[in-house]
Amino acid sequence: MIYLDNSATTKPYKEVLDSFLKVSTDYFGNPSSLHSLGGDAEMLLNRSRETIASLLHVHHKEVIFTSGGTESNNLAIKGCALSKRNIGNHIITTSIEHPSVTNAIKDLEQEGFEVTVLPVNKEGRITKKQVEEALREETVFVSVIHVNNETGVIQPVEEIGEVLVSYPNVSFHVDHVQGIGKVPLPLDVIDLCSLSAHKFHGLKGNGILIARNGVNLHPILSGGDQEWTLRSGTENVAGIVAMTKALRMTLENSESHLSNLSSWKQYLIDKLEQMNGVFIHTSRNQSAPHIINFSVPGIKSEVLVHALGTKKIYVSTTSACSSKRKAPSKTLTAMGVTREQAESAIRISMTYSTTKDELRLFLLELNQAITTIKEVTREKK
């Protein structure tokens, strides 16, 4: 098997699975319970929070545990904007956000918020100048994805954050789900930052929202007083401990393996550029090292995905959240890519364990699949 769909989800580290099983077996108490079993679970919860805070260079009280990237994005966007509606009702975002950001902001539009959606250039980037020009007196919230989940393009979030420091009424949210462990991001100029465990070899169903000191959030779940009263629900302690281990291991791996990922990316782009009829939508220099998006016009992306799947090579079309929809990628459309190219887009996403031999075999099978599909198509005509 050659797995090249790591932006959809990653394979959990063995150590992560071991941690989850150990905690689920021996420390299964509710961390809110008063007895010693609950106290042991609470101790693990607190230790995990402190470890994550240390790894991300934030205060432990700024770490909120959630069920994943979607909840983290929703809590950040709705929670912050609703807490500020007495100050202003204007939000700024981009045209290539993840659906969990786009749709959360659409919900706020129904609540009376006004939204400015910034267009991107042909590489999928915005500029800090666009953000500056869009700011109004009523602006209270800006949300910009760090690494786009389809093309890997990197937004200048640090530059934007430095601009927004001068606007104390504006909170800045960054969806860092695809960037963590792949593209370093200092959090000192960011107010809210979303992460998802299964994107860095943790387990599905766990996430983190970093909410910097001073940022007010309106809870979007009603219940108990867990997570600083901001996220009700009994914490998934086993998943949180496993996520903590996954984050530590991922950040350790990134130091030694990022150069390999960057080399593999350049290798793939070089080889794809040599194939007739292939269009590449990922920038060489302003994108993450693990994602490449390309098109083979004339071949529907799902046909190519299934053809490679028969060889146990797993790639994807758009983001996993949108892959079963018939509409072309809104990210590629926003970049000015033609409909034909958008409908034939393929995403490759690697991780630290990806090897050059795997990529060579992928390229060989891709070339063969393209040739075969085109021959079959000609015969049918």
Rounded CA separation 244/202 (Å) = 8
Question: With contact defined as beta carbons under 8 Å apart, do 175 and 157 qualify?
Answer: no
- Residue bearing tokens 């071991």: 18
Question: With contact defined as beta carbons under 8 Å apart, do 342 and 295 qualify?
Answer: yes
Structure tokens at 251: 């950040």
Backbone angles phi, psi at 194, to 5 degrees: -105, 140
Check whether 294 has a pLDDT greater than 90: yes
pLDDT band at residue 381 under the 50/70/90 scheme: low
Structure tokens at 55: 């790894």
User: According to the model, what pLDDT value does residue 37 have?
Assistant: 87
User: According to the model, what pLDDT value does residue 202 have?
Assistant: 98
345-359: average pLDDT: 96
User: According to the model, what pLDDT value does residue 318 have?
Assistant: 72
* pLDDT one-digit tens code per residue, 35-89: 998 999 999 999 999 999 999 999 999 999 999 999 999 999 999 999 999 999 9
User: According to the model, what pLDDT value does residue 229 have?
Assistant: 75
Sign (positive or negative) of CA dihedral 52, 58, 61, 67:
negative
Nearest to residue 45, comparing CAs of 14, 18, 23?
A: 23
* pLDDT one-digit tens code per residue, 174-186: 999 999 999 999 9
How are strands ordered across the β-sheet holding 345-349?
279-280, 291-295, 345-349
253-264: average pLDDT: 90
* pLDDT one-digit tens code per residue, 105-135: 999 999 999 999 999 999 999 999 999 999 9
pLDDT cut 90: percent of the chain above it: 86
Rounded CA separation 293/295 (Å) = 7
Question: With contact defined as beta carbons under 8 Å apart, do 342 and 297 qualify?
Answer: no
pLDDT band at residue 345 under the 50/70/90 scheme: very high
266-289: average pLDDT: 94
Q: Which residues contact 243 (CB under 8 A, 6 or more apart)?
A: 16, 48, 52, 197, 202, 203, 206, 208
pTM value?
Answer: 0.94
* pLDDT one-digit tens code per residue, 195-221: 999 999 999 999 999 999 999 999 988
Check whether 320 has a pLDDT greater than 90: no
Rounded CA separation 148/352 (Å) = 19
Q: Which residues are catalytically annotated?
A: 321
User: According to the model, what pLDDT value does residue 325 have?
Assistant: 55
User: According to the model, what pLDDT value does residue 379 have?
Assistant: 63
DSSP H helical segments within the chain, as ranges?
A: 14-26, 36-56, 69-83, 99-110, 128-134, 157-164, 237-273, 301-309, 330-334, 339-342, 356-380
Question: With contact defined as beta carbons under 8 Å apart, do 7 and 347 qualify?
Answer: yes
Nearest to residue 189, comparing CAs of 216, 212, 219?
A: 212
Check whether 224 has a pLDDT greater than 90: no
User: According to the model, what pLDDT value does residue 326 have?
Assistant: 61
Rounded CA separation 82/211 (Å) = 15
Check whether 247 has a pLDDT greater than 80: yes
How are strands ordered across the β-sheet holding 171-175?
63-66, 207-211, 192-196, 171-175, 139-145, 90-94, 114-118
Structure tokens at 197: 């465990």
> For all residues of the chain together, what is the average pLDDT?
94
185: left (phi over 0), alpha (psi -120 to 50) or beta: beta
Structure tokens at 199: 């994107």
Q: In the chain, what are the domains?
A: 2-6+256-380 (3.90.1150.10), 14-249 (3.40.640.10)
Check whether 145 has a pLDDT greater than 90: yes
